[in-house]
Amino acid sequence: MRKPIDDLVVYGNKNVKDVKKTSVVSPSPVNKIKITPTNSNTRILSGAQSFSYGQGSVALQGKPVMAGGTTGGSMNLGLNSDRLRHQMVERLKQKGITDARVLAAMQAVPRHIFVDQGLASRAYEDAALPIGFSQTISQPWIISRMLSIVCENRNPQNVLEIGAGCGYQAAVMAHLFPVVYSIERIKGLYDMAREHLRDLRLVSRVRLVFGDGMLGLPAYAPFDAIVIAAAGMEIPSVLLHQLRVGGRLIAPEGTSNQRLVLIERTGEASWDRSELEAVRFVPLRSGIQS
């Protein structure tokens, strides 16, 4: 019998290193691009995805993000957010996202409540935005792209996200999959994600875990799909083993030069790997940060 998820709220420890690595990666030579909250968790498109923000955003570091709707600015945005989201979804379609299930899930989740009020007016731009702790909420396009890939010709049921951040992608996944687990290694972000999911009444649909996602969640494996929202040098082999046969894992891989990588488990001991577009994500790190 499976353990209740609450037993797993702290999972992993600060010194854990993933010892078993798959040899699927050959990181490209270093091309020194500094990864910052302003350019991460996006697709790389010749200069198009940069985001700049004012001085006030410095205060974002470590500052909890409050759910919107309590101030004039957020309330106004809340009233208009269906329309803004519709425009965001139209832009995603123009950029090649076709899966109707994914587009409906993107339409369903109010992205502005996941970012600081000072950034709420930019929530429906196709850009990554800072969420504190040097991390970002991923670009809508990259989220819909990754989810479309794991859904293609499939109907995943039991899905794992690594890197919950502020919980936005987990909320989108809750509209797509019956069972969603999401792991976050930074306690402040885990708390933030939990608060956002609670505000959206999604806590029962996303099993949020504070822990090291590089270890996966063996008690709840196998997963039909695994989505990794941070880039490691290699995809931890332990995660490949937690995929169901026929299941798909999508992850950014690399350090300065990153690519989206799709792994499909084809048998007990066999996986297919394909490399997709160039991307830039925040780093996948081992251990937890309290």
Q: Which residues does the annotation mark as catalytic?
A: 138
Pairwise CA distance, residues 3 & 8, whole Å: 8
Pairwise CA distance, residues 158 & 45, whole Å: 32
Cα 212 to chain centroid distance, Å, stands at 14
Closest separation between CB of residue 283 and ligand SAH, Å? 7
| Complete DSSP assignment for 47-92 | TTT-----GGGGGGTTPPPPPSSSSHHHHHHHHHHHHHHHHHHHHH
Closest separation between CB of residue 108 and ligand SAH, Å? 14
Residue placing its CB nearer to ligand SAH in the complex, 103 or 217: 217
Pairwise CA distance, residues 164 & 280, whole Å: 17
Strands 206-211 and 179-184: parallel
Residue placing its CB nearer to ligand SAH in the complex, 188 or 247: 188
Q: Where are the beta strands (DSSP E) in the chain?
A: 10-11, 42-43, 129-132, 135-137, 158-162, 179-184, 206-211, 223-228, 243-254, 258-267, 270-280
Name the site residues for ligand SAH (rule: CB under 6 A): 41, 135-138, 162-165, 168-169, 183-186, 189, 212-214, 229-230, 282, 284-286
Residue placing its CB nearer to ligand SAH in the complex, 34 or 72: 34
Pairwise CA distance, residues 290 & 287, whole Å: 10
3-state secondary structure of 238: helix
- CA torsion, points 257, 276, 168, 39, in degrees to nearest 10? 30
Tokens representing 2 are 């499976």
Residue placing its CB nearer to ligand SAH in the complex, 41 or 148: 41
Closest separation between CB of residue 72 and ligand SAH, Å? 26
Residue placing its CB nearer to ligand SAH in the complex, 137 or 249: 137
Residue placing its CB nearer to ligand SAH in the complex, 29 or 34: 34
Closest separation between CB of residue 165 and ligand SAH, Å? 2
Closest separation between CB of residue 28 and ligand SAH, Å? 21
Cα angle 260, 202, 195 (rounded to 5 degrees) comes to 90
3-state secondary structure of 265: strand
Tokens representing 160 are 């794992």
